[in-house]
Every structure is written in structure tokens, then in C-alpha cells.
Structure 1
């Protein structure tokens, strides 16, 4: 389809000179309308070619503001030429009929530049509208996440607690508002203390939703427990959560540690799924890493999880940390950072000691963290009141 001719307005006194100027411009596919003043210009005019003698000096600013304007003159000494230049014209040319080809090129270039400027202006307005909409949506999302973060914190157990001679405490800090870390501890009955520690892949809303699912499933499975074989519960729970996460199809997996402390025997039954760093048990000033390994939860169908256990001395500290703690430790390798974590735990008698040693002694949320970070400490039996 042939593009319609662009209409060029010529402002000049009527007569042979204006006709010659209009004829010069009309070549090469340009349409021309000649008028005596700007008021007579039709609305579809794309550009104005105005003779300096035809426009009063006071009218130049309004004309240049409304349309891109080229000024022509018979000589460079025209008294009103400077007034037109000061008003913001696109360009000017002297003796236009002698330089017709140059004039037409200047007209086309001025039209293209004006079209580009108009497109840029429209894009800017559109971008401002989109930015305003985006800011509104981000503000709403921020409020939603803040509310979700408050709800998630409400799902966490009160801290600290003393349960059956075991003191349970934790430090919890999400990367932003919602966290992929989660934990819980409570008595199954008078003899058994249940606790678990989870680190869901990623962070934010989708990871936080998995922690809510974990809380729901743990409550359901606890209600369904018949009171028999508590040592089998940790592995059974991991297998169940593994199947639940795979069936959701959300592409999330987790590392998880589930433990049950037999308060009478002072024995820890546990199972784990790719926990990193591994839980560390400190007794008599020495730190040992709990034995065992297991597959991540939510990645592999039919994964089996180990049933493990160890005796607990009268006085112990059991530390569990999410992998965000590794970002807070010096060292170029994972092994070096794990060694440093062990050293920091050995030097810490309380949860406050460890957070201070890791420069986390501000309130959770007051310090920007590279990842979700949670630390959990269980101490007993002789440390229960420490």
C-alpha cells in the first residue's frame, strides 16, 4: 500500500514567490498547502516552511511550539531571522528556490526527527504509566509478603521453651519477608520430644508455602500416630513429605532433619535428608557431627531415608543451622567454612554467643543477609536451665 503524501504547510505572502516556493517543495512526493498565516493551517500539516517576512516576531514561539518549523529567507540579513532562530525553529535556509533539493532533504529529515521525538514522548508517557502501575503492584506484593511473613512467624513455636528437661531455642531470619527455613519442637507425650528442621530450596513465597505444607503434614501425622515405634517416625515422615512434594509438582525440594528424643533413655532417634551443614553435637567441650546421610526431600520418587540414633549425655548442646550460615563464614571452600562453623560452635555456650560470633547479634531482620538463615539449639539435660 502506497504511503500517503505528507502535507507541508507554507506560510508566505500570496504571490509568485510563494507559488515558486510551494512548487519547489511539492516535488519528490511532498504535498503542499500555502497560506498567509498560521491560523489557516489545516490540522494534518506535518511541518511548516515559513518565510521570515510573513510571520511577526511575536508569533514565532507559538508556531515553533505547535509544529516543527523551517524558516526561509531571501538573504541572511533579514531582521526577523534571529527572532525565529531564538524561538526554536528546526533549521533555516536562504534562497530556498535555488536550493530546492537541499530544502526537501531538510524537510524530510525534520519530519523524521519530529516523528521520532513524538514516538519517544509517547513511549515515555507509556513507561511512566507502566512504572506507576508496577510500583502499585510492588507495594501490594510487599504488603502481602509482610503479612505472610507475620503469619509464618506465628507458625513457629514460642522461644525459648523447656520441654521435658530439654531447652529449645532458635534464631530465625528470612532473606526478605518470607523464608524457606522452618522448624518446630514439642512433646509427643510425656516421654518423647519431637523436633524438625527444614531448609526449602530458594526463598520467598513459593518456598514459604512449602513450610506451611510441612507444618500441616507434621500436625496431621502427629495426630495419626498410634504411640508405637517412635524411632520409626522420622524416616516415615521424610518418606511421606518426599511423596507429597513430588505430587504437588511445584519443583521445590528441601533438606530436612527430623529427631525424636526419648527423655527416659536420653536417646536421640533421627533421620535426615541431605542436611547441610550436618547437625553438630557438643559434649564436654568437644563437637562431633551426627552420623548419617540421606537424599533431598522432594526430588527422587521412592527415596529411602535412614533410621539412625545416638545416646545423649547428661549435658549436651545440639546445633542445627540452615545453609545460609555458610555465607556468613570465612573460607574459600565448603570444607573450610564447615571447619570454621565447628570452631564457632565450640566457642559458644548459648545461642546468643553463636549469633554474636557470627556478627548476627542484631535482631533478626535488621541486617541484610545473603540467604534465609536459621539456627536452632537444643540443650539438656543438665543444661536445661542455662
Structure 2
């Protein structure tokens, strides 16, 4: 299909000079319409070639605003040429019929520039529309994230509970609205206190969905437990969760600590999967890292997890932190940051103390954190009122 010709409007006084100017422009395959006044120009004109003698000085601003305009003159001394220049014409040429090739090149150039400008304006309008749509979607996503964050918090246990002589407390601070960290604690019966502490890789919605799965599976497994062999339950849970995460195919893994405190024996049965930092047990001012190691949950098929345990003295504090705490500690190496965490834990009698020592005494959401950050503390049995 042939491309339509650009329509060039020529404004000049009727006569042989106007006819010659129109013929000069038309030699390059351009369509030309010649008129005596700007008001006579038809619609669809792409550019105007106006003789300085045919347009009053007062009409130049309106014409240049309406259409790109080239001005032609028979002499540089034309009195109204400066008025046209001041009004914003594209360019001007003297003796156009003698410089026809130059005039046609100027016309082609102006037409190309105008097409580019039109395309730029269309792109800008399209971008503004897309930005408005994006802002709307972002606002909706933010509301969804905030709602999801509220639901996730509802799944957490009530803070500061004393269960069977053991006080449980935590601080939960998502990176934004949703967190990949999760925890829970409650009595299985009058003898056993179950708790777990999870840190799912990444943060945001996909990691938060894994915490929902963890909550669901934990509730199911608790209902299925027959009350026998509590020492085997943590390791079995981790193996089952490892299989469930691999079966989902979502590419998420987690570090996890699962513990069961035998309140009668004052003994902790536990298992772990790549927990970092390791849980810290504080007794009489001395900090001890719980023993054991295990593979991350959700990475390796058929992974086996250790069955571990330790006695709990009458007075103890057990601290568990997600790896986001490492971003808040001084030190150039992991070992130096872990040593710093031990010192801060040793100097903290309460959860509020540790938050203050780590400069974490802020309201979640008011200040950006480098990562999801969660701290859990269990104290007993002589610290039940601490």
C-alpha cells in the first residue's frame, strides 16, 4: 500500500510567485495546497511554508503554535521576518525558488521531527497511563500484603505466656509486611511443652506462604501424635516437613528448630535443620550453644535429622534468633558477629533488654529492617515471672 503524501500548505499572495513556490515544493513528491490566508488552510496539513509578505505580524504566533512553519522571503531585509522569528517559526529561507533542493530537505526534516515529537507525546501519554495503572496495582498489592501480614500475625501465639512454669515470649518484625520467620509454642498436654522456630529462605509473600503450610502441618501432626516417644517427634517433624516442601516444588527451604520440653523431667528434646544462629542457653550467667547440626529443610530428598536432648536447670534462658539478627551486629565475619550475639544475650535478662542492646527498640514498619527478624525467649523454671 502506497504511503500517503504529506500535505504542505503554502501561504502567499496569489500570482506567479506563489505558483512557482508551490511547484518547487511539489517536485519532491509532496502534495501542496496554496492559499492566501492561514484561515483557508484545510485540515490534514503537515507543515506550512508561509511567505513573510502574506502573513500579518500579529498572526505569526497563532500560526506557529498551530502548525510547524517555515518562512520564506525574497530578501533578508523583509520587515516582518524578525516578527516571524520571534513567534517561533521552525526555520526560514531566502529566495526559496533558487534554493528549491534545500527547501525540500528542510521540509522533509521538519516532517520527520514532527513525527518523532508526535511519537514521543504518544509514548509519554502511554507511559503516564501505564504508571497510573502500576500505581493502582501497587496500592492493591500493598493492601493485600498488609492484610496478609495481619493474618500472619494472627497465627502467632499470644505473647508472654507462662506454660507449665516456662515463660515464652518473642519479638516479630517482618522486613516489610509479610515475613518468612515463624514460631509457635503451646502445651501438648500437662507434661509436654512444644515449640518451634522457623526461618524460611527469602522474605515476602512466597516465604510467608511456607509459614502457613508449616502452621497447618504442625497442627495436623500434633493431632496425630499418640503421646509416645516425645524424643522422636522433633526429628520426625523435620523429615516430614522436608518431604512436604520438596513435593510442593516451590523452591523454598527453611532452617528450623523443634523442641519439646518434658516439664516433669525438666528435659529438652530437640532437633534442628541448619539453624543459624544456633540456640543459646544461658544458665547462671554462662552462655552455651546447644549442640547438634542438621541439613536445611526442603533442599535434600531423604534427609535425616538428629534426635538430641539436654537437661534444663531450674533457672535458664533459651534464646532463638533468625539470621536477620546477624545484620544488626557489628563485626566483619560471621564468627565475630556470633560472638557479639553471645555477649549481648549474656547481658540480657529479658527480651526487652536484648532488643535495646541490639538497638532494635523500634516499632515494626516504622523503620526498614535489613531482613525479617524474629527473637524468641523461653525462661524457666525459676524465671516464670520474669
Q: TM bucket by the smaller chain?
A: over 0.9
Give, in angstroms, the shift of residue 100 of structure 1.
1.6
Partner of residue 90, structure 1: 90
Partner of residue 159, structure 1: 159
Partner of residue 240, structure 2: 240
Give, in angstroms, the shift of residue 79 of structure 1.
2.1
Q: How far, CA to CA, are the matches of 2:110 and 2:187 in structure 1?
A: 81
Give, in angstroms, the shift of residue 170 of structure 1.
0.5
Pair 1:299 & 2:260 matched: no
Give, in angstroms, the shift of residue 5 of structure 1.
2.9
Secondary structure in structure 2 of the residue aligned to 1:17: helix
Decide which moves more: 42-51 or 306-315.
Answer: 42-51
Residues 159-308 of structure 1 mapped to structure 2, 5 A cutoff: 159-308=159-308
Give, in angstroms, the shift of residue 13 of structure 1.
1.2
Partner of residue 135, structure 1: 135
Give, in angstroms, the shift of residue 150 of structure 1.
0.8
Partner of residue 20, structure 2: 20
Q: Render the CA deviation track for 1:298-328: whole Å, top value 9, x for unaligned.
A: 1111111111111111111100000000000
Q: How far, CA to CA, are the matches of 1:334 and 1:257 in structure 2?
A: 20
| Alignment size in residue pairs | 386
Give, in angstroms, the shift of residue 29 of structure 1.
2.8
Give, in angstroms, the shift of residue 2 of structure 1.
5.1
Q: How far, CA to CA, are the matches of 2:74 and 2:365 in structure 1?
A: 74
Secondary structure in structure 2 of the residue aligned to 1:309: strand
List runs of 5+ in structure 1 lacking aligned partners. Answer: none
Give, in angstroms, the shift of residue 128 of structure 1.
0.7
8 Å contact kept, 1:162–1:384: yes
Give, in angstroms, the shift of residue 104 of structure 1.
1.5
Q: How far, CA to CA, are the matches of 1:158 and 1:109 in structure 2?
A: 73
Root-mean-square deviation over aligned CA pairs:
1.2
8 Å contact kept, 1:171–1:364: no
Partner of residue 309, structure 2: 309
Q: How far, CA to CA, are the matches of 1:148 and 1:56 in structure 2?
A: 68
Q: How far, CA to CA, are the matches of 2:367 and 2:228 in structure 1?
A: 45
8 Å contact kept, 1:6–1:31: yes
8 Å contact kept, 1:315–1:382: yes
Secondary structure in structure 1 of the residue aligned to 2:54: coil
Partner of residue 382, structure 1: 382
Residues 37-56 of structure 1 mapped to structure 2, 5 A cutoff: 37-56=37-56
Give, in angstroms, the shift of residue 367 of structure 1.
2.3
8 Å contact kept, 1:52–1:71: yes
TM-score normalised according to structure 2 size: 0.97
Partner of residue 61, structure 2: 61
8 Å contact kept, 1:281–1:290: yes
